[in-house]
Structure 1
Amino acid sequence: MTPGFSRLRREDLLKTACEVISEQGFGHTRTVDIARAAGVSQALLFYHFETKDGLFAQAFDYAARVHLDALADIERSTGTPLERLRALLRRCSPTQTPDGWRLWIDAWAEAMRSADLEATSRRIDTQGRSLLRTIIDDGVAGGLFVCPDPEAATWRIFAVIDGLAIQIHVHPRGLSRRRANQLVRTATAAELGVQVSDL
């Protein structure tokens, strides 16, 4: 097996693992479920990943890399702070696909008992906050935003996004997606001194 093929096969397995874990949850997913979904034997699965816990941690790390790559694209953008803010709010919207949020929410719960998942989860959160803080700082410096405490605003905006995501995906009948997006935009506009219509 060539190194290139092995690397591609590994990425395919991680992608499939994320899909299965998102559907069934960390606690209910078996390695045989992932192997079956990927169309491979458990032996091949364990050729790439020595243990179930190792597979789960690397699957979440794979999902994290995909998300962090998207954040990096926004970070490298030459758009205005407002344009980058809109892109970040779209990327992190609580109304993003259920599969993605189910994986994050489940991983947050598991992270309380897994050092590997906690480290990956913390890395994602830190990068997201860092990007938002940079956007806010740039907007304040350019006179687009009015925000006396960008660090606190960053925490509050993400707290609203994460909290609403949990409500939508754990209690889907309690809040409409349209209303959730409106609440995020309203909270963000209030934090940054802009009009909701700007977002």
Structure 2
Amino acid sequence: MSTVQSEPRPGARRKSPADRAAEIAGAAREIALADGLAGITLRGVAARIGVTPALVSHYQPSMDVLVADTFGAIVSAEIGEVAEELAPCPSTVAALGALIDSLLGPERSPVTALWLDAWSLGRRTPALAVEVGVQMDAWQAFVSGLLRSGVAAGEFTAADPDAVAWQLLGIIDGLNAHAIVRYGHAGSLRGLVRTVAEHELGLFAGALGSTTRTSTNSSMN
């Protein structure tokens, strides 16, 4: 575990409720990315910010809710990051290729690990299960919206963009899950996802592969 344990600091400066809540939320995010969602505990959060577990409990009485909120905050932020990455793309085809590159890249591994945590822990944590559903729907809406834009622009066809979005996300999630436990290399299988997308969207073979933008990405095809 990479969480550094520390004793609560005696006489620590009093903070406003809003500042303390933000501090707790920030600590939870740090722990999640370092140690996984299971690492978010009263004692762990308290040690991270140097206060007593009782103080954390006062501001966040339900750790299940804190875990769910932390997962949601990290995942929703990633959607925003990916949207910014795709914004400069000159076409929807280019954006779709960039999306596949990004989601199967190693830099996304920390968030992928949180998804695996959430799918597992959510079986017994209703608050987390609900948040998983919210974030899955958000990702599906994002990808579906991208596909609808491409259809509207006449770049490709899709009888059911919603279904294609779920199909692509399912494949990407599966490959990333394998890679997290060191079974295969998700980046090396980008071509597989592109091939499926090209088939489903009526694109010629290799249409999405041409969107690779850097020598690093090219070496991973």
1:127: which partner in 2? 138
SS in 2 for 1:148: coil
CA distance in 1, matches of 2:68, 2:164: 31
Structure showing the higher helix proportion among its residues: 1
2:10: which partner in 1? none
Give the structure-1-normalised TM-score: 0.79
1:197 to 209, 215, 218: 209
Give the structure-2-normalised TM-score: 0.72
Higher relative contact order, structure no. (Cα contacts within 8 Å, ≥ 6 residues apart): 1
Identity of aligned residues (%): 23
Map 1:150-169 to 2 at 5 A.
150-169=161-180
C-alpha displacement at 1:76, in angstroms? 8.0
Deviations along 1:49-82, one digit per CA (max 9) or x if unpaired, are 1132232222223223323444665798895323
Kindly name which structure, 1 or 2, has the bigger radius of gyration based on alpha carbons.
2
The runs of 5 or more residues in structure 1 that have no matched partner are: none
Please say if residues 140 and 147 of structure 1, whose CA atoms lie closer than 8 Å, have aligned partners that are also in contact.
Answer: yes
Report the AA paired with residue 137 of structure 1: R
CA distance 1:37–1:112, shift in 2 (3 Å): same
Report the AA paired with residue 34 of structure 1: V
Matched, 1:184 2:196: no
SS in 1 for 2:144: helix
Please say if residues 100 and 190 of structure 2, whose CA atoms lie closer than 8 Å, have aligned partners that are also in contact.
Answer: no
The runs of 5 or more residues in structure 2 that have no matched partner are: 1-13, 212-221
CA distance 1:179–1:74, shift in 2 (3 Å): closer
CA distance in 2, matches of 1:19, 1:157: 29
Q: How many residues align?
A: 195
Report the AA paired with residue 160 of structure 1: I
C-alpha displacement at 1:101, in angstroms? 1.4
2:126: which partner in 1? 115
CA distance in 1, matches of 2:22, 2:60: 12
Report the AA paired with residue 142 of structure 1: A
Greater displacement, 54-63 / 97-106? 54-63
Please say if residues 64 and 128 of structure 2, whose CA atoms lie closer than 8 Å, have aligned partners that are also in contact.
Answer: no
SS in 2 for 1:97: helix
C-alpha displacement at 1:103, in angstroms? 1.2
1:143 to 154, 173, 196: 154
CA distance 1:40–1:85, shift in 2 (3 Å): farther
CA distance 1:140–1:22, shift in 2 (3 Å): same
Please say if residues 18 and 103 of structure 1, whose CA atoms lie closer than 8 Å, have aligned partners that are also in contact.
Answer: no
Please say if residues 65 and 128 of structure 2, whose CA atoms lie closer than 8 Å, have aligned partners that are also in contact.
Answer: no
CA distance 1:90–1:31, shift in 2 (3 Å): farther
2:184: which partner in 1? 175
Please say if residues 40 and 63 of structure 2, whose CA atoms lie closer than 8 Å, have aligned partners that are also in contact.
Answer: no
1:89 to 97, 100, 113: 100
C-alpha displacement at 1:161, in angstroms? 0.7
C-alpha displacement at 1:159, in angstroms? 0.7
Please say if residues 64 and 124 of structure 1, whose CA atoms lie closer than 8 Å, have aligned partners that are also in contact.
Answer: yes
